[in-house]
Amino acid sequence: MRYITYIANYCYNYLTNTNIANTRLIFKSGIFLGELSFHDRSIEDTVRQEMFKFVPVPASEYLTLMYHATADFTVQIYTVTGQKMAEINMKGGNTGQYINIDAYTTGIYYYEIMRGKGVLQRGNLSIVKYK
């Protein structure tokens, strides 16, 4: 219930500070993705959307980060004990990036996707090495 209240408050605050006649909010599965603004009978797409997804899950031989990012970002991967396994600088765009996991053993790893000092996404990865 707290999450729904937060979303409702966010939408109310957003709409009260926006020209509602010229703006449409975009939601997908209840998640705010951005906005479409309409100006002078033309459509200006100002959707600010960043998406990051690691495939396959669990990974065994390779790991790929599929992403749509508006600017460059950094991926950091850590072991459960906090040891940094990788720090990879990536260019913004709509693409995928292969990540070498040869040095990784079977286990859970944590990742952070960052831009500057801000964290865009955090999560965990499962790697299963078959012998």
* Overall pTM > 0.75: no
Phi, psi dihedral angles at 113 (to 5 degrees): -110, 120
Distance from chain centroid for Cα 44? 23
Let me know whether 14 and 40 are in one domain. Answer: yes
Verify that 105 and 75 share a domain, yes or no.
yes
Range of the domain at 8: 2-45
Model confidence over 14-71: pLDDT tens digits?
A: 444 444 444 454 544 555 445 444 443 333 333 346 899 999 999 998 999 999 998 9
d(CA 71, CA 107): 31
Contacts for 43 with CB less than 8 Å, ≥ 6 apart: 36, 37
Q: Are residues 25 and 73 in the same domain?
A: no
Residue 26 — left, alpha, or beta (φ > 0 → left; ψ -120 to 50 → alpha)?
beta
Sheet holding 23-28, edge to edge: 23-28, 31-39, 42-45
pLDDT tens digit sequence for 84-106? 999 999 999 999 999 999 999 99
